[in-house]
Structure 1
Amino acid sequence: MQLTALALWLNTAFAGFDEAVATAIHQLYVAAGWFFTPFLSFISLLGKGGIFLILLSIALMLFRKTRRYGTTMLLALAIGALVTNVCFKPLVARPRPYTHDGSIFQQYWEMLGKHTESDKSFPSGHMTAAMAASLAVFLRGNKKVSWTALLFALAMGVSRIYLSVHYATDVLGGVITGSIGGFAGYAISNRIPESFYTADFRDYIDRLKAKKSGGKGAGRSTAAAAAAEPSDGRRRTLVIDGANFSTMDGLFREFNRLFDVGPDEAVHSLDALNDLLGGGIGKIPAGARLHIRWLNSEKSREDFGYGATVIYYEKLLRRCHPNNRPRMEALLAEARRGEGETLFEKLTALIARTDTGHDCTLSLE
């Protein structure tokens, strides 16, 4: 077989290194092949074609709390696959190690079940996918925990050498191409509009219903209907229902309907919500004494937990005044550690106030 110049260079310049690593990893077979062979075969299977990781990315994208992880992973996988399969594999065209007759690689390969691959060897596509996905999770998550994702990439690299379907240099090449995908995917995901990450399918359905019904009748939310409830004699009771929203945009729409706020005065921030609760906007008169009943509040407590809090502070950090950045960064770091005030706690504290110009009580149900 005629080798390309790059393949020939890899096979000669790194021959000793590749053999030494393969021999060292083969000691796992000697020590406990009954365990490592099925285990590493399974790990290797998870990287085949990137299908498992792609499906995992898509699954994570379905949920608002994990959408950033899924999006970053999917972008990283796509970029890594492009760099590996379109650029390097055809260019280098390195044959698989088990094709070298009489080599230790072929001996190990025959011993471990003769796993065959259809494409070229450098760089490892499995390693590219594993590294891209793992690095995406590491960069996106809390580094104190997310570093564990890199263990999957490590296991993938070991499995490919163990099964003798890749040289150690193929795996190192996959680390490089996977890292390119991971960093690029992370950078691109940070430029995607915030609305993509905070959008909720249920809120979209709610908007369609409201649009279809013209804002009247069955299409209106519980909150909108509750605005017409009579006062209890002391405070005007209004109802919001956590079943109708799971994002900040959804919450703001709930209050806008509840107070019958026009488009020009619609609430889109916590400061605006605070002004709204003071009265004088929409159908609630200024100085009104209010009582808010928050139905399905436990669902909202989960929806606006630390995951949503991180998203909230990330959004604020991108647009805040430079003088406020240290404080926003500190609050964001605290939320990422799962510490401090959650967005739900911030919301309930904002609603339940009885100071000057704001007289509102709150019950969580």
Structure 2
Amino acid sequence: MKVTNSNFFSSALAKPTSLMWLGLGAVLAILFIELALRVLAGDTMAFDRNIILAMRNPADLSDPLGPYWFEELMRDITALGGTGILSFIALFTVMYLYLQKHRHMAFLVAVMIVSGMICSSLLKYGFSRPRPDLVPHGSYVYTSSFPSGHSMMSALVYVTLAAIYARSQFRRSLKLLIMASALLVVASIGLSRVYLGVHWPSDVLAGWCAGSIWALMSYRLVRYGQKRGKLTF
């Protein structure tokens, strides 16, 4: 079978890229497993306690550091990772893609997000780690602690959608702005969960790892479909 130069070079370039993504996914998976094992063994408790207490007034642990407006800002930010907000974002994105005739992409985005939510719930149920009890909670919680659902789902939703949208942009500066904005939102949401005393820091780190793995898998599925002409955006 004859192989053209262009096909040969494309194949050669694709392999290192695929290996890079595979390696990144493996590193994230190892980090999540390591965190999970250490949490189960209780090895992260000292680290977790120190970080949470460092964000509180030593004279009054019910008082987070910073002025009242900053406290309220943290509540606003944490809401960006809530199930309601993420569900609205997912629903509107899927509807937009469907109406724009990108129906395969709409279906794939819906499956990615719904499956991520299911995975997050199963992980929480499986580990059943109690919420922090060092300080009063600054936000209402009703599930177990590990991993942080806000951190996991915000990483999945915001990073995946940002990566897909960034590919439709031609200017490198716009691509960087979109991805940087998504990462900043995800990081802020995770930090707000610790600041409000509703998650241990290790919960947030594990949530970021799990969400990033899911986002990476989702993005690779999208790229696979785009290369074969089955997905357009």
Report the TM-score when normalising by structure 1: 0.43
Q: 1:28-64: CA deviations, max 9, x gaps?
A: 93222x1122111122223222x32232133233154
Report the TM-score when normalising by structure 2: 0.64
Change over 3 Å in CA distance of 1:71–1:42 after alignment to 2: farther
Look up the match of 1:337. Answer: none
Provide the rounded CA distance (Å) in 2 between the counterparts of 1:36 and 1:74. Answer: 34
- CA apart distance, 1:156: 0.8
Q: Secondary structure at the match of 1:78?
A: helix
Kept in 2: contact 1:80–1:177 (CA 8 A):
no
Q: Match for 2:64: what amino acid?
A: Y
Alignment equivalent of 1:42, drawn from 76, 98, 101: 76
Provide the rounded CA distance (Å) in 2 between the counterparts of 1:7 and 1:97. Answer: 18
Look up the match of 1:239. Answer: none
Look up the match of 1:16. Answer: 46
List alignment gaps of at least 5 residues for structure 1: 1-5, 99-104, 198-310, 312-365
Change over 3 Å in CA distance of 1:39–1:89 after alignment to 2: same
Change over 3 Å in CA distance of 1:93–1:8 after alignment to 2: farther
Change over 3 Å in CA distance of 1:116–1:56 after alignment to 2: closer
Change over 3 Å in CA distance of 1:66–1:195 after alignment to 2: closer
Listed as ranges, the matches of 1:1-365 within 5 Å are 9-10=39-40, 12-26=42-56, 29-32=64-67, 34-49=68-83, 51-61=84-94, 62-63=96-97, 64=100, 74-86=110-122, 88-98=123-133, 105=134, 107-109=135-137, 112=138, 115-140=139-164, 141=166, 143-146=175-178, 147-192=180-225, 194=229, 197=232
Q: Over aligned residues, Cα RMSD in angstroms?
A: 3.2
- CA apart distance, 1:76: 4.1
Kept in 2: contact 1:60–1:66 (CA 8 A):
no
Q: Secondary structure at the match of 1:13?
A: coil
Kept in 1: contact 2:90–2:113 (CA 8 A):
no
Larger Rg: 1
Structure with greater helix percent: 2
Kept in 2: contact 1:29–1:36 (CA 8 A):
no
Report which structure shows greater RCO (CA 8 Å, sep ≥6). Answer: 2
Provide the rounded CA distance (Å) in 2 between the counterparts of 1:117 and 1:94. Answer: 13
Kept in 2: contact 1:68–1:189 (CA 8 A):
no
Kept in 2: contact 1:124–1:174 (CA 8 A):
yes
Q: Match for 2:49: what amino acid?
A: E
Q: 1:228-259: CA deviations, max 9, x gaps?
A: xxxxxxxxxxxxxxxxxxxxxxxxxxxxxxxx
Q: Once the two structures are aligned, what percentage of the paired residues are identical? A: 23
Change over 3 Å in CA distance of 1:150–1:184 after alignment to 2: same
Q: Match for 1:79: what amino acid?
A: S
Kept in 2: contact 1:58–1:70 (CA 8 A):
no
Provide the rounded CA distance (Å) in 2 between the counterparts of 1:68 and 1:15. Answer: 45
> How many correspondences in the alignment?
179
Provide the rounded CA distance (Å) in 1 between the counterparts of 2:141 and 2:192. Answer: 14
